[in-house]
Amino acid sequence: MSQLAVIFDMDGVIADTNPTHNIAWRKFLDRYKIVPTEDDLQNHMYGKHNSYILNYFLKRELLTEELLRLQFEKEALFRELYTSIVQPLPGLLAFLADLNKNGVKTGIATSAPVENLEMMVAQIPFLNEVMSSMLSEKDVSNHKPHPEVYLKSAERLGVLPSQCVVFEDSVSGVNAGLAAGMRVVGVTTSHTSDELPPCSAYISDYTTLSFKFIQQLMNQHVSINS
């Protein structure tokens, strides 16, 4: 049995949800007469926790009850838009099957609400078969870029952080994986490789990936691209 683990963020990594999150956020902000700029989206939305996004766009610190209500409102809108069109990134399921066949433990570590994670798993049932750990925002006290979700994932998977590979698409997510002492693969669905912190490798999808990719990643110290 391999003592390796591969941990995936969800949005932009399991599936390219960000275009739908973008639409959901625009619809949500429109309800409150807020028009975001592209700079707002790039620097204050993608990869950020909802609490940060809401405080930023509403320009005030929200109290807990209102914050929870607004977060639920936005995420319910996202699920309404996305549930019927869920599709994993190309090659993901074959990659997961190959990791599973080779004894690599896998998990999901997302800052999204548990309802979003449950929706994703319901629409991609294979995730439930291969993932040995699935954590959402309810499972941590500190959100990315804090490494808590990745450290807790490694603990649940029974693997040292140094033996974990993280797949992430956001700046805060990459920083969380690096802070956890893990190798990080940047998924360029939301940002270009130049926009992300330095990663061990960069991919656009999983079509060329296999267990061998993870082996090579763990055995080398230079960046590779796929």
Q: What is the pLDDT of residue 205?
A: 98
Amino acid found at 1: M
Q: Could you give the residue ranges of the DSSP H alpha helices within the chain?
A: 18-31, 38-44, 50-58, 64-82, 92-101, 114-123, 126-130, 148-157, 171-179, 211-218
**Residue 224 predicted with pLDDT over 60:** no
DSSP state of 105: E
The whole-number average pLDDT for the span 87-96 is 98
The whole-number average pLDDT for the span 54-72 is 90
Residue 167 host element (H or E): strand 164-168
Q: What is the pLDDT of residue 68?
A: 92
DSSP state of 90: T
Mean pLDDT of the chain: 93
Contact assessment for residue 99 and residue 107, using Cβ atoms and an 8 Å cutoff: no
Q: What is the pLDDT of residues 122-162, one digit of tens each?
A: 999 999 999 999 999 999 999 899 999 999 999 999 999 99
Closest CA to 121 of 12, 7, 15: 15
Closest CA to 45 of 62, 31, 57, 30: 57
Give me the domains of the chain, ranges plus CATH numbers.
5-16+88-225 (3.40.50.1000), 18-84 (1.10.150.240)
Token pair of 127, please?
């995730």
Neighbouring residues of 141: CB distance < 8 A, sequence distance ≥ 6? 148
